[in-house]
C-alpha cells in the first residue's frame, strides 16, 4: 500500500463526509472522553441523547466528580454496561484529586485512570490534544483487516497488536485526531460490518480485500462462547400505587442499580419460587398471579429469561429490610436496569413482556 496516498485519500474524504456529532462541535478532553466511553458497545444514534443530557447535568469533570453516584447511574439508565458510568466517575474524581481537574494529555497517563483502556486513551489524546496516538477499536480492526486482507482471528491479541502497529505507522503526526476519526467514520459509514460499500469507498484503490474479492469473508472471527442461560421469577408487588423495589449489590452485574424483586428459579417452579419471595418480603402468605409476561435480557456473557408475576400487599412494611416500596415519583428518581424499566413501563401501559 502507498501509505502517504492512503492517508491523503482518507483525509480528503473525511473533509467532506465527516459525521456531524455533538462532541465534535467542541472537542474538549472531557467531552471527548465521555463520548468515547458512551460509544463503547453502543451505537452513535443511541448515545447522542444520553451524551446531551449528561453534558447538561455534568458540564465539567468537577461536577461529575462531585455528583452522587446514583445521579450518574440515573443518567446512564438504559445505556447498559453500567460499570462504564462508575469508572467514568471514578476517573473524574481521580483527575480532580491528582491532576488539578485537567485530564492528562498523554495516552500513557490517561491509561492509569479507571476504565480508560488503550483505545479510549488514544482516541482522547489524539482528538482532544492532537497527540500522535493510534486508536484501534473493533471498527478500526475490521477496516484494517480488510485493507490488508488479514486472515487472522480479529479477536486475537496478536491481530490487534499488528493492526495497532500499522495504524501507528500510517498516522500523520499533524492530523492524528482527524485520521483516527476518519477511520471511525469509514468503518461506520462505508466499510460496515455487513455488505461493505466498496464501490463508494474513498480508499478502495488501497484495499487488498477488495482486490482479492474477499471483503465479504473478512474479518475472520473465532466462534464466540455461548452465553449462559439464567431463569428468574420477578415480582410486581404493589401496595396502593407503590411498587416494591430493591437495590442490587454494589459490585457485579448491574451493580448499584434498582430492580423489581427477583429470584433465580427453573421455569417450571417460577410461580412457587416467586410466591416464596413474596412471603419473605411481606412476612406472610400473599396470593401471586400471572405470569404477566416473559422478559429477556442479553448481557455479553449471559442471557436472562424472567417471568413476571403480580402480588398485592395492604401493608408497605417489609419483613426484609433490603426491600422498599417506592411510589411513582421515587421510582422516577432511581436508576433501574433496562429490563426492569420495561416491566414498569409495561405495567403502566398494561402490556406484557418482551426482549431487549
Ligand atoms: S474497499 Fe471495501 S472492504 Fe476495502 S476498505 Fe473500502 S469498504 Fe472496506
Return the best residue to mutate from 9, 203, 208, 220 for the ligand 1 pocket (most ligand atoms within 8 A of CB).
Answer: 203
197 and 258 in a single domain? The answer is no
CATH number, domain of 73, equals: 1.10.340.30
326 contacts 267 by C-beta, under 8 angstroms:
no
Whether the CB of 207 sits within 6 Å of ligand 1: yes
107 contacts 120 by C-beta, under 8 angstroms:
no
Q: With H, G, I as helix, E, B as strand and everything else as coil, classify residue 180.
A: helix
Residue 5 Cα, ligand 1 centroid: separation in angstroms?
16
29 and 170 in a single domain? The answer is yes
Give the separation between CA 208 and CA 146, rounded to whole angstroms. Answer: 7
Catalogue the active-site residues: 36
Nearest to 299 by CA among 225, 221, 192, 188: 225
DSSP code string of 219-249? SB-PPPPPPEEEEEEEEEEEETTEEEEEEPP
Domain final residue pick, 217, 238, 255: 217
Give the chain's count of helices (H) and strands (E).
16, 8
Give the separation between CA 210 and CA 196, rounded to whole angstroms. Answer: 10
Task: Quote the domain boundaries for residue 212.
Answer: 3-217
112 and 197 in a single domain? The answer is yes
Q: Per-residue confidence of the chain (356 residues) as pLDDT tens digits?
A: 899 999 999 999 999 999 999 999 888 999 999 999 999 989 999 999 999 999 999 999 999 999 999 999 999 998 988 889 999 999 999 999 999 999 999 999 999 999 999 999 999 999 999 999 999 999 999 999 999 999 899 989 999 999 999 999 999 999 999 999 999 999 999 999 999 999 999 999 999 999 999 999 889 887 767 789 999 999 999 999 999 999 999 888 899 999 999 999 988 889 999 999 999 999 989 999 989 999 999 888 899 999 999 999 998 888 888 999 999 999 999 999 999 999 999 988 765 455 55
337 and 278 in a single domain? The answer is yes
182 and 75 in a single domain? The answer is yes
CATH number, domain of 337, equals: 3.90.79.10
Domain final residue pick, 176, 192, 217: 217
Return the best residue to mutate from 145, 147, 200 for the ligand 1 pocket (most ligand atoms within 8 A of CB).
Answer: 147
Whether the CB of 198 sits within 6 Å of ligand 1: yes
Residue 136 Cα, ligand 1 centroid: separation in angstroms?
17
Residue 3 Cα, ligand 1 centroid: separation in angstroms?
15
Residue 130 Cα, ligand 1 centroid: separation in angstroms?
27
Residue 176 Cα, ligand 1 centroid: separation in angstroms?
21
102 and 42 in a single domain? The answer is yes
Residue 340 Cα, ligand 1 centroid: separation in angstroms?
41
10 and 103 in a single domain? The answer is yes
Q: Which atom of ligand 1 is nearest to the CA of 197?
A: 7
162 and 60 in a single domain? The answer is yes
Domain final residue pick, 173, 191, 217: 217
- Residue identifier of the C-alpha nearest atom 4 of ligand 1: 207
Q: How many Cα atoms within 13 Å fall on the side-chain side of residue 133? A: 24
- Residue identifier of the C-alpha nearest atom 2 of ligand 1: 198
pTM of the model: 0.80
Residue 222 is assigned to a structural domain of this protein = no
Q: With H, G, I as helix, E, B as strand and everything else as coil, classify residue 293.
A: strand
Whether the CB of 190 sits within 6 Å of ligand 1: yes
Q: Domain total for the chain? A: 2
Taken in order 24, 44, 349, 303, is the CA torsion positive or negative?
Answer: negative
Cβ-Cβ contacts under 8 Å for 330 (sequence gap 6 or more): none
155 and 289 in a single domain? The answer is no
Residue 321 is assigned to a structural domain of this protein = yes
Q: With H, G, I as helix, E, B as strand and everything else as coil, classify residue 336.
A: strand
Q: Which atom of ligand 1 is nearest to the CA of 215?
A: 3
241 and 303 in a single domain? The answer is yes
Whether the CB of 204 sits within 6 Å of ligand 1: yes
Beta strands in 135-278 (DSSP E): 228-239, 242-247, 258-259, 262-264
199 and 262 in a single domain? The answer is no
209 and 70 in a single domain? The answer is yes
Residue 344 is assigned to a structural domain of this protein = yes
Residue 223 is assigned to a structural domain of this protein = no
Amino acid at each position: 500500500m502507498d501509505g502517504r496516498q492512503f492517508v491523503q485519500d482518507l483525509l480528503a474524504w473525511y473533509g467532506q463526509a465527516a459525521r456531524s456529532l455533538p462532541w465534535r462541535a467542541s472537542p474538549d478532553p472531557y467531552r471527548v472522553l465521555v463520548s468515547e466511553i458512551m460509544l463503547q458497545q453502543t451505537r452513535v444514534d443511541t448515545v447522542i441523547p444520553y451524551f446531551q443530557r449528561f453534558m447538561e447535568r455534568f458540564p465539567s469533570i468537577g461536577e461529575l466528580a462531585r455528583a452522587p453516584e446514583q445521579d450518574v447511574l440515573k443518567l446512564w439508565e438504559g445505556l447498559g454496561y453500567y460499570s462504564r458510568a462508575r469508572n467514568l466517575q471514578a476517573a473524574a474524581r481521580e483527575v480532580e484529586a491528582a491532576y488539578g481537574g485537567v485530564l492528562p494529555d498523554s495516552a500513557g497517563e490517561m491509561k492509569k485512570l479507571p476504565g480508560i483502556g488503550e483505545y479510549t486513551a488514544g482516541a482522547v489524546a489524539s482528538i482532544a490534544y492532537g497527540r500522535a496516538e493510534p486508536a484501534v477499536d473493533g471498527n478500526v480492526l475490521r477496516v484494517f483487516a480488510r485493507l490488508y486482507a488479514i486472515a487472522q482471528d480479529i479477536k486475537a491479541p496478536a491481530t490487534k497488536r499488528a493492526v495497532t502497529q500499522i495504524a501507528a505507522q500510517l498516522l500523520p503526526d499533524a492530523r492524528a485526531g482527524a485520521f483516527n476519526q476518519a477511520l471511525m467514520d469509514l468503518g461506520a459509514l462505508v466499510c460496515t460490518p455487513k455488505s461493505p460499500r466498496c464501490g463508494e469507498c474513498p480508499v478502495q484503490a488501497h484495499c487488498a480485500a477488495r482486490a482479492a474479492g474477499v471483503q465479504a469473508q473478512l474479518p475472520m472471527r473465532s466462534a464466540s462462547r455461548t452465553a449462559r442461560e439464567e431463569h428468574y421469577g420477578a415480582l410486581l408487588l404493589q401496595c396502593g400505587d407503590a411498587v416494591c423495589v430493591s437495590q442490587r449489590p454494589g459490585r457485579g452485574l448491574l451493580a448499584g442499580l434498582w430492580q423489581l424483586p427477583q429470584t433465580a428459579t427453573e421455569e417450571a417452579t417460577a410461580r412457587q419460587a416467586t410466591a416464596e419471595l413474596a412471603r419473605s418480603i411481606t412476612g406472610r402468605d400473599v396470593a401471586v398471579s400471572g405470569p404477566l409476561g416473559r422478559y429477556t435480557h442479553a448481557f455479553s456473557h449471559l442471557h436472562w429469561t424472567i417471568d413476571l408475576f403480580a402480588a398485592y400487599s395492604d401493608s408497605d412494611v417489609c419483613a426484609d429490610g433490603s426491600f422498599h416500596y417506592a411510589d411513582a415519583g421515587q421510582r422516577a428518581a432511581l436508576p433501574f436496569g433496562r429490563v426492569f424499566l420495561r416491566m414498569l413501563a409495561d405495567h403502566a401501559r398494561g402490556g406484557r413482556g418482551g426482549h431487549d
